[in-house]
Amino acid sequence: MTASERLLVVEDEPTLRELLSASLRLAGFAVAPVATGAQALAAVREQRPDLIVLDVMLPDFDGFEVVRRLRGQHPSAAAGHPPVLFLTARDAPEDRISGLRAGGDDYVTKPFNLEELVLRIRAILRRTSGRQADGRLVVGMLELDPDSHQVTRDGRPVQLSPTEFSLLRVLMENAGQVLSKSQLLELVWQYDFGGDDSIVASYISYLRRKVDLDEPKLIHTVRGTGYVLRRPRQ
C-alpha cells in the first residue's frame, strides 16, 4: 500500500469519522475527513482522492446526490470521478441496489468490521486500477470504452449487444475477482427479468464466443463459485 492512495472519508458523525480516519491511516492510506456533501464535492475537486468512503445520510444532501453531482462535473466520462464505497445504516436489498445504480462501487452497512472495510477498499482500488484517464477500461489486450460503447481485442473491434457490453464491463471493472451468478444478476440485470440465474451462464457463453476466440483466454469459470476475468500472464 502506498501513500499515493488517497481516501476521502465523508461522515457527519464526529466519533465515527475520527475512528474511520485513524483506522484507515493505520492501514497505510492517506486520509482526508469531511462532514458534509458540499465539503466532499470541494475536496474531490481540490484533492483528487483515489476513493471516497461516503456515508449515505449527510446533513445537507445524501450520498447518492453527492455521486450524481460528481457525475455532473464529469459528464463525458463514466469513470471521471473516483470510485465510491457507500456506508449506510439501511440494509434492505433495494437500498443496496439503489446505491449501486447511483454509481457506487460497493455498499457496506453499519455497524461494520473495520478489517472487512479495509479489505473492501483495497479490492475496489485493485479492480479500478485498469481505468485510464479517459475512462477506458484496459485488461491486457482487451479495451472497453464506456462512452462510445466500443470494445476491441488486439485492436480489432468486437461487436457486442447492450447486455453483453454491460456484462463485460462488470467483469473488467472487477478483473481478478470472482463474481458469483447472484452478484452478476444484481450488477448487470438488477433482477428485472425475474432472477433466473441460468441467464448468466448463457451470456457468459455468448461473450466468450466474441471476446475469447484467441489465446490467452480471459474469461474463466470457477466451478461452484462464479466467473472471473483474469489478466493474461506477462
| pLDDT tens digit sequence for 26-59 | 988 999 999 999 999 999 989 889 899 999 999 9
- 125 and 146 assigned to the same domain: no
Over residues 115-152, the pLDDT tens digits come to 889 888 887 887 666 665 567 888 888 999 988 889 99
Domain-terminating residue out of 129, 150, 174? 129
Residue 68 lies in a domain: yes
Distances (CA, A) of 37 to 53, 59, 80, 83, 195: 12, 8, 18, 16, 35
Domain for residue 1, yes or no?
Answer: no
Tell me the three state secondary structure of residue 115: helix
Cell, residue 97: 441496489
**Domain span at residue 101?**
6-129
**74 in the same domain as 186:** no
d(C-alpha 68, C-alpha 90), whole Å: 19
Number of domains in the chain: 2
